[in-house]
Amino acid sequence: MEREKGEVWIFAEQEDGVLNDVALELLGKGRELADTLGVPLAAVLLGSGVEGLAAKLFEHGADKVRLVDDPALKNYQNRSYREVMIELIEEVKPQICVYGATSLGRDLAPSIASALRCGLTADCTELGIGSYTDPVTKEEFANLLLQCRPAFGGNIIATIVNPRNWPQMATVREGVMKLPDATPGKTGELVRHEAKCLATLELPVEVLEVVRAAKSVNLKGARIIVAGGAGVGSAENFKLLHELADVLGGTVGGTRAAVDLGYCEHERQIGQTGVTVRPALYIACGISGAIQHLAGMQESQKIIAINTDKEAPIFSVAHYGIVGDLNDVLPKMIKAIKAKAAV
Amino acid sequence: MGYNCVVCIKQVPDTGKVTGDAMKADGTINRAALPAIFNPEDRNALEAALRVRDAHGGTVTVVTMGLPAACAILREALMCGADKAYLVTDRRAAASDTLATSYILSQAVKKLNPDLVFCGRQAIDGDTAQTGPQIAEKLGATLVTYLEDLEIRDGFAYATRNIGTGTEKVKAKLPALFTVMEKCGELRPEQVRLAMKYKKARAPMELAKETAEAEYEALKAKGLDIGQWNLDDIGCDLSRCGKAGSPTLVNKIVNVVLAGGEFQEFQPTDEDVAKLVGSLIADHTIG
């Protein structure tokens, strides 16, 4: 069937001419999907004066970059980006289109899905290709996009398929897919598109002011993370975590509970509704291990759990465990690290 | 002049309370054991609408789609100051995904012809944040997501949005749909007078079948009727509702099993902690 020859698309989100990391992460997974299906992988790039970003997209795996470069697309607006994407999808007919589950992606993707009346699965943690049999009609569908996402507060993982209304669309949170290695010098086909809809489009929104908050915490890039949960007990005790992070050259993170209790800032939240991390070392202090939190950190290479409750679920994902009070254990750890460093 | 505001609200299982009691022996969730609550950000959405009415006059109407039990949150909304409540309930709406749900809700909202529509950013049982933007698209309304602050002036909405990397101030044309975040403000408490009054409010499906008609007429006379619509009442194309109107299908559900690998326990003693640190340095994890 014709539709099965459709390309795999990833939406190459950029802001002020800077590509969002999630676009490159999606290219890694997109490459796998496109190779399995034997179709091209295209990055769709919208903006004004952004052609220069194509090189980076090629180097990270895109066969094609589909570019709509227009002054009207300088700043993201739901109406303009949505209309351009709809026009492009109807013209080129990709079979899969994946977006980053960023603020922008979660604003844009559902609007497109609504207009095209196709499915959209939010916050997928894994994507693959597989078959599906309709349990009622017994109709078989080969080579569908399998979209895995946690549901019900992360307690179950559901696999979703859209067998009929294509394109198959999904969003993926930042940090969930691995950033692929770049192949320096790799190029591809740059396809320029004119969006006809822009000529007559009236925007219902006027952006008056944008204030970007300086990002002071970089959890995603951290090699070592010291994270605390409700069990830390107080904002005062949280200082111990900062101290440990300092001697390790790491970054401090927290669970949703720790953020809600005011122990640490919101930008430090790790988990399903926060940031997903995969550091070399994750030290979980006073974290019981709610599934929503585990979803955001269980792929860390080494996990140390420190908790007074030996039954806490965090121990089931940990490589090393210490059953004890963090107010007792952390100072010992800091002392031991300083001692080793001095040797 | 006042503004006609509609707030879409949802009753959700309190997924934050998935503890021992809510887990069945096979490790699956016993949904029935979870309390059903007014979705947190929908409460903020209602507050945002009530503030518009406080400032400019007009009406606030709440709409929910679900089983008759969802009337509990409609009553809660009335007790906090909403003027009118509607339940959209229909067996044929079962198994709707976000696309079908947004279609059905958009049909209900259209009937109310609002200037402003408010939805919570996302519901805690699915966390998809898709229904609001999709209702806006179907209404042809201006979409303003992640609302943190709102002022209506000269017939325009001046909104502050949280765009993840900061905030954005926009001027939006009406009619507009806002998806609301917690920062917009906590829902005001129930008023005693309204609570006394609206605890008796009912939708027809909540009444005993034999006497429902007469009872509902009596409730209407006292302004205690919760409006009830089925899919025909709001002019739905049935091919766009329920399972037929839902492109996404659940292929498989697996319970989360925690991946356990090799595990080594250390004692909270100086010697053991030093040993642990030593092994981390030895394999170059730290240092």
CB B118 within 8 A of CB B135: no
Nearest to A150 by CA among B96, B249, B253: B253
CB B227 within 8 A of CB B84: yes
Q: Range of A311's domain?
A: 224-342
Structure confidence at residue B84 (pLDDT)? 98
What value does the mean pLDDT take over residues B86-96? Answer: 95
Whole-number Cα distances in Å, A209 to A170, A173, A206, B162: 30, 26, 9, 12
Round to whole Å and give the CA distance between B105 and B113: 13
Do A254 and A333 lie in one domain? The reply is yes
> How many domains is chain A partitioned into structurally?
2
Least confident of A80-89, B21-30, B125-134, B273-282: B21-30
Do A88 and A228 lie in one domain? The reply is no
How do the domains of chain B map onto residue ranges?
A: 3-240
Confirm whether A21 is domain-assigned. Answer: yes
Confirm whether A18 is domain-assigned. Answer: yes
Chosen domain end from A199, A232, A264: A199
Structure confidence at residue B24 (pLDDT)? 55
Q: Nearest-CA distance from B166 to chain A in Å? A: 4
Round to whole Å and give the CA distance between A73 and A62: 22
Residue B29 has pLDDT above 90, yes or no: no
Token pair recorded at residue A83 = 């209309």
Tokens 């692929």, residue located: A180
What value does the mean pLDDT take over residues A21-43? Answer: 97
The domain that holds A253 is classified in CATH as 3.40.50.1220
Do A24 and A150 lie in one domain? The reply is yes
Nearest to B89 by CA among B271, B237, B231: B231
Shortest CA distance from B263: residue in chain A:
A319
Nearest to A97 by CA among A41, A36, A156, A164: A41
**Residues of B whose CB is below 8 A from A275:** none
CB A175 within 8 A of CB A278: yes
- Tens-digit pLDDT profile for residues A141-181: 999 999 998 776 666 788 999 999 999 999 998 888 888 99
What value does the mean pLDDT take over residues B277-287? Answer: 85
Confirm whether A178 is domain-assigned. Answer: yes
Shortest CA distance from B133: residue in chain A:
A111
Round to whole Å and give the CA distance between A231 and A185: 50
Confirm whether A211 is domain-assigned. Answer: no
Residue A243 has pLDDT above 90, yes or no: yes
Do A267 and A303 lie in one domain? The reply is yes
- Tens-digit pLDDT profile for residues A112-139: 999 999 999 999 989 999 999 988 889 9
In chain B, which ranges are E strands? Answer: 3-9, 11-13, 36-38, 58-65, 84-88, 116-120, 142-153, 156-162, 166-173, 176-180, 227-229, 249-255, 264-266
Rg (CA), chain B: 23
| Backbone torsions φ then ψ of B138, nearest 5 degrees | -70, -30
Confirm whether A279 is domain-assigned. Answer: yes
Do A179 and A278 lie in one domain? The reply is no
What value does the mean pLDDT take over residues B146-173? Answer: 95
Helix/strand/coil (H/E/C) assignment for every residue in A43-58: EEEEECCCHHHHHHHH
Do A9 and A57 lie in one domain? The reply is yes
Fold for domain B3-240?
Answer: Rossmann fold (3.40.50)
Structure confidence at residue A266 (pLDDT)? 84
Number of H helices, E strands in chain A: 9, 18
Structure confidence at residue A178 (pLDDT)? 86
Q: Considering chain B, what percentage of its residues have pLDDT values greater than 70? A: 92
Do A157 and A99 lie in one domain? The reply is yes
H helices of chain B, in order, are 40-56, 71-79, 98-112, 131-139, 192-198, 212-221, 270-282
What value does the mean pLDDT take over residues B95-103? Answer: 95
Nearest to B85 by CA among B120, B108, B61: B61
Tokens 């898709």, residue located: B130
Round to whole Å and give the CA distance between B8 and B101: 11
Q: Do residue B247 and residue A122 have CB atoms under 8 angstroms apart?
A: no
Give B93's DSSP letter: G
Sheet with A205-212: list strands edge to edge.
Answer: A205-212, B166-173, B156-162, B142-153, B176-180, B116-120, B3-9, B58-65, B84-88, B227-229
Structure confidence at residue B34 (pLDDT)? 79
Q: Which of A111, A210, A335 is nearest residue B168 as measured by Cβ atoms?
A: A210
CB A12 within 8 A of CB A44: yes
Number of CB pairs < 8 Å for A and B? Answer: 240
- Tens-digit pLDDT profile for residues B227-263: 999 999 999 999 999 999 999 998 888 776 655 567 8
- Tens-digit pLDDT profile for residues A270-311: 987 788 888 989 999 999 988 889 888 988 889 999 999 988
Q: Which of residues 138-177 of B touch A (CB under 8 A)?
A: 138, 142-146, 158, 162-173, 176
Question: Side chain identity at A242, as an amino acid letter?
Answer: H
Token pair recorded at residue B261 = 């690998």
3-state class of B20 per DSSP? helix
Q: Which of residues 255-284 of A touch B (CB under 8 A)?
A: 272-273, 280-281
CB B11 within 8 A of CB B38: yes
**Residues of A whose CB is below 8 A from B285:** 280-281, 301-302
Do A121 and A248 lie in one domain? The reply is no
Question: Side chain identity at A234, as an amino acid letter?
Answer: S
For every residue of A20-76, DSSP letters joined together read -HHHHHHHHHHHHHHHHHT--EEEEEEESS-GGGHHHHHHTT-SEEEEEE-GGGSS-
Least confident of A107-121, A142-156, A247-261, B152-166: A142-156
Residue B68 has pLDDT above 70, yes or no: yes
Round to whole Å and give the CA distance between B203 and B281: 67
Confirm whether A78 is domain-assigned. Answer: yes
CB A25 within 8 A of CB A177: yes
CA atoms within 13 A on the CB side of B249: 17
- B277 contact A CB<8A: yes
Chosen domain end from A160, A184, A199: A199
Residue B94 has pLDDT above 80, yes or no: yes
Do A136 and A82 lie in one domain? The reply is yes
Round to whole Å and give the CA distance between A116 and A109: 11
Rg (CA), chain A: 22
- Tens-digit pLDDT profile for residues A60-117: 999 999 999 999 999 999 999 999 999 999 999 999 999 999 999 999 999 999 999 9
ipTM of the complex: 0.88
Structure confidence at residue A213 (pLDDT)? 79
H helices of A249-343, in order, are 256-260, 291-294, 314-317, 326-342
The domain that holds A44 is classified in CATH as 3.40.50.620
Do A192 and A228 lie in one domain? The reply is no
Interface test with B, best of A15, A20, A86, A114 (most B CBs within 10 A): A114
Structure confidence at residue B22 (pLDDT)? 58
Confirm whether A205 is domain-assigned. Answer: no
Residue B31 has pLDDT above 70, yes or no: no
Q: Which of B131, B133, B170 is nearest residue A107 as measured by Cβ atoms?
A: B133
Do A150 and A269 lie in one domain? The reply is no
Q: Which residues of A310-321 are buried (b: 16+ CB within 10 A; e: fewer)?
A: eebbbbbbbbbb
Give B211's DSSP letter: G
Structure confidence at residue A260 (pLDDT)? 87
